[in-house]
Structure 1
Amino acid sequence: MIVRPLEADDPVRAVFAARERGVAIALATSGTTDRPRFVVRDPESWWVSFPAYSELTGVRAGATVWVPGPLSATMNLFAAVHAAAVGARVVDEPGEATHACLTPAQLDRLGDELEPEAVVCVAGARLEQRSAGPQVVHYYGAAELSFVAAGNHGDDLQPFDGVEVDLRDGEIWVRSPYICLGYADGAAGPLRTDPDGWATVGDRGRWSGTALRVLGRPGTVTTAGATVVIAEVEEQLARIARGPVAVFGVPHAVLGEVLAVAVVDEADLVVLRTFAREQLPSSHRPRRWQVVDELPLTAGGKVDRVRLAHG
C-alpha cells in the first residue's frame, strides 16, 4: 500500500500517519509539466535526516516557519513535516516567521518581507552568493535523492551529513539513507541506481576543492551542430549579473536552436552581452536577450523556462 499525501485534506498529517502504519508515501516531483511523476519513499528516509536538517537550518522546537510555496513541491512538504516533528509551527505571514523555506527565485521576490533576523533555507535551484538580505543556508537535493550537499550558497556545498558523493564523468552519484524507493505506477524517470546502493538523477557537477559545484540537469541546446549545456552558461552569467538571470533555448530556422537570456535588471544586458562576447566560445554565446519584470515560476517555485521560451 502507498499513501499519497497530496490527496489528503492534511498532507502533513498523512505523512505522519503513513510512518505510524509503516507504509510508503508517493510524492510529486516538481517541474513544468502538468502531470508530474510520483516518487515513492519510506517516511523513515525523511525522519533520519531531521537532526542534520535542524542543525543546518536552526529549526527546532518553538521556531516559526514560513513556507509560501505549495505542499505539492517536495521541499515544502518536507519543511512542513519537519517543523511538526520537531515542535516548530508553520505560519502564514512572513512577519511572524523565525525561519523560511524558499527557492532562490522566491528569495529574490519575497525575502524583503521577512524580519531581518529570520533564517532562510533555500533550495530548488542554485543559490548565488549574496552580499545583502536575510541570513541564508542552502542545500542541493532532488525529490528522488533528498539531501545531497549543503552550505551557505552554491559555491559552498559540502556533502550533507550521512551522504557519500561520487562524480562519474561529471555526473553526481550519491549513497545515503535518504534515497527513495523508486517511482509509483511504473513511471519512468531520471533515477538510476547501481548494485552497490549508489543513485543519480543525472545532475552534473564538479569539485572545487572540497566543495561540490552543481551544474544542474543537462538541459542542452544544439546550435549549428554544437551541443551546449544550458546550466554551464547560466552559471557563468549568474556569477556577474546584478539581478536574476535565466538561460533557455529557442528554435532557430537556420541554426536549429539558439541560446536566449532573460534578465530582470536592464543594466545586466550590457554587462552580460560584453562578457558573453569576450569570454564565451561562439557556440555558447546567447543570440537573443530580453528584459522581463520578473522571472516566471512554476508551481514549485522554480524558473519556468518553457514560459520564457514561448513568451
Structure 2
Amino acid sequence: MTTDPVDVLGTVDPVASVLSAYADGRRICLVTSGTTARPRSVVRTAASWVESFPAVSQLTGIAADSRVWVPGPLGASMNLFAAAHARFVGADVVPASAGASHGLLTPMALIGALDDGVDVAGMHLVVAGDRLTRTVARRATAAGARVSHYYGAAELSFVAWGSDEEDLRLFPDVELEIRDGVIWTRSPFLSHGYLAPGGPFTIAPDGFATVGDHGRLTNGVLTVVGRDGRAVVTGGATVLVDDVEEVLRWVGGGDVVVVGVAHPRLGQMVAAVFTDPVALTAARDAAPGELTPAQRPRLWFHLPRWPQTAAGKVDRAAIAALADAGALRPVPRTGGASSGAGA
C-alpha cells in the first residue's frame, strides 16, 4: 500500500476521503488558507483529526441527532474538519441555518449573519479561523446563541478553546509553552509539516511545535497576539501591527486592521481601518495616550464590511491594497466615517 498522503480536496467527496484514510491508517494532505502567506499543503494523519472528535463532541454537544450548519467551503481545513466530525458521529451537515442546531463560522461570517438578520437563537455557534472579539461574541449571545471559540492552525489543529478571544484555555490533551513570546504546543493533533520545504511550521526535538504566533499565558488563559512578519516600517521605526491592533481594539471596542500606506519621506505611514465608526472615533481619541508616536496611526479609514478571502477570513492583503492605492478616503476628525468607491 502506498504511503503517499491522500489529497482529499482532489476527491469527489473530501469528507468520505478523510474518514476512509482514517480507517486505512493513511495520511491526508490539506491546504492552508493563505491569509497571510501563500497557501501550503499540510500533511497529517487522519487519526490526528479523529482522535480529537470525542473532545469536540463533549465541548459542543454535537451528536447523531444534530444538524450542523457549515456555510464555508470545504477547502478551508476548519470546515472540512467540522463536516468530517459531523459525519463521523452521524450528524447531518446542512447548507442553511434554518433548523440547524450548530453552526461553524468565521468571525466575519458571524458578523455578516447577524447583520443580515439570520436567526441564530438556540444554536451553538463554533467560531474560528480568526480572533473572535468579546463584543461580537456578546452580540451573538444576545441574539440567543451559545458561542464557542477556538484558536488553532491547519498545522497544529486545536490549541485552545473558550467563549471568545479573551477566554481561551487549553484544549484537552494539549500542552503549551511560551518561549521568547512565541506559542509552542505539543499534542496528539499535530501535523507532520508541509509537502514542500519552507513555511512557518517548526517542530522542536522535544515534540513541541509552532507556527510563529506570539502570545501570553496568564492564569491558564491564552492571549494570542499575532505572528512575526506583520510590521510597518515608518521613519526608520519598525511598528508591529499586532501590538497596535491589540491596543486599538481595547480602547475602541471594535475590530481593526492596521496596514502600512506608502509615503515618499517616511517609507510607510501607519493606517487603521475600522468597520465601526464609533469604535474608530474612540480609538483615535485614546491613541495618543496608549501608543508611542511611531505606533500612532497617521491615517484612519472606515469600511462598511471587511473584504474576505475564499476561506471566509478578513482579507488583509485586499485592505492594504485599497488603502495604499488611495481607494479609501481618510475619515476627518470632525466629520462622519466615509469610504472610497473601492470599499
TM-score normalised by structure 1 residue count:
0.95
Show the counterpart of 1:75.
Answer: 78
Q: Is the 8 A contact 2:36 2:316 kept in 1?
A: no
Show the counterpart of 1:190.
Answer: 200
Counterpart CA distance in 1 for 2:244 and 2:36 is 24
For residues 110-156 of structure 1, the C-alpha deviation after alignment (integer angstroms, 9 at most, x for no partner) is 14414311011011111111333222101100100000111111111
Q: CA deviation at 1:18?
A: 1.5
Amino acid at match of 1:272: A
Show the counterpart of 1:215.
Answer: 225
Counterpart CA distance in 2 for 1:89 and 1:292 is 36
Q: Is the 8 A contact 2:34 2:40 kept in 1?
A: no
- What secondary structure sits across from 2:134 in the alignment? coil
Change beyond 3 A, Cα 1:35–1:6: farther
Tell me the percent identity. 47
Counterpart CA distance in 1 for 2:13 and 2:296 is 47
Q: CA deviation at 1:236?
A: 2.0
Which 5+ residue runs of structure 1 have no aligned equivalent? Answer: none
Q: CA deviation at 1:266?
A: 2.0
Instruction: Pick one of 161, 168, 177 that aligns with 1:166.
Output: 177
Larger Rg: 2
**Number of aligned residue pairs:** 310
Counterpart CA distance in 1 for 2:189 and 2:231 is 29
Show the counterpart of 1:308.
Answer: 319
Show the counterpart of 2:331.
Answer: none
- What secondary structure sits across from 1:84 in the alignment? helix
Q: CA deviation at 1:15?
A: 0.8
Q: CA deviation at 1:243?
A: 4.4
Q: CA deviation at 1:175?
A: 0.6
Within a 5 Å distance, the mapping from 1:241-280 to structure 2 comes to 241-280=252-291
* 1:96 lines up with 2:99 in the alignment: yes
Show the counterpart of 1:8.
Answer: 11
* 1:116 lines up with 2:126 in the alignment: no
- What secondary structure sits across from 1:96 in the alignment? coil
Show the counterpart of 2:332.
Answer: none
* 1:148 lines up with 2:154 in the alignment: no
Counterpart CA distance in 1 for 2:5 and 2:108 is 33
For residues 195-227 of structure 1, the C-alpha deviation after alignment (integer angstroms, 9 at most, x for no partner) is 111100000001232201001212122222222
Change beyond 3 A, Cα 1:308–1:55: same
Counterpart CA distance in 2 for 1:32 and 1:238 is 20
